[in-house]
């Protein structure tokens, strides 16, 4: 069954938008996720944090949507961070040549409460 990723209000200018991605990111879930990421990366200088810690599985279609989001963010002079401490996911990035492409952090950024939106 495809996972859903709920959107909240746009992030305030002072901080990033955090999108938690639970479940699977695969061929079935990518279309809905791609539409949500397009909406989140449409404005100038998007600051997006994708929390992959609750992600159970990601396939090549999932990697593709992450790369597309990265390209959209960079084209708009924004910032994209992936949050994960999964050795399996980090290895997948290295094996696919994407190891140095993404800014990866093991935990959410330390930000004052109310300075970011959680989607």
Answer whether residue 118 is part of any domain.
no
Structural domain count, the chain:
1
CA dist., res. 52 & res. 105, Å (int): 10
Answer whether residue 38 is part of any domain.
yes
Answer whether residue 2 is part of any domain.
no
- DSSP H helices in 1-119: 30-40, 60-75, 87-95
CATH number for position 33: 3.30.750.24
The confidence score (pLDDT) of residue 26 equals 97
Answer whether residue 12 is part of any domain.
no
Q: What range defines the domain where residue 35 resides?
A: 17-108
Query: Per residue of the chain (119 residues), what is the pLDDT tens digit?
Result: 445 554 444 444 568 999 999 999 999 999 999 999 999 999 999 999 999 999 999 999 999 999 999 999 999 999 999 999 999 999 999 999 999 999 999 999 887 666 665 65
Taking only Cα atoms into account, the Rg of the chain, rounded to an integer number of angstroms, comes to 13
Answer whether residue 119 is part of any domain.
no
pTM: 0.84
């Amino acid at each position: 069954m495809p996972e859903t990723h709920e959107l909240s209000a746009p992030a305030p200018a002072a901080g990033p938008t955090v999108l938690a991605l639970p479940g699977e990111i695969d061929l079935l879930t990518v279309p809905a996720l791609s539409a949500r990421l397009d909406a989140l990366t449409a404005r100038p200088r998007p600051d997006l944090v994708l929390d992959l810690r609750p992600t159970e599985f990601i396939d090549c279609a999932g990697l593709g949507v992450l790369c597309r989001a990265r390209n959209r963010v960079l084209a708009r002079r924004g910032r994209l961070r992936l949050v994960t401490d999964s050795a399996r996911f980090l290895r997948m990035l290295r094996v696919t040549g994407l190891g140095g492409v993404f800014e990866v952090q093991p935990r959410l950024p330390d930000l004052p409460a109310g300075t970011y939106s959680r989607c």
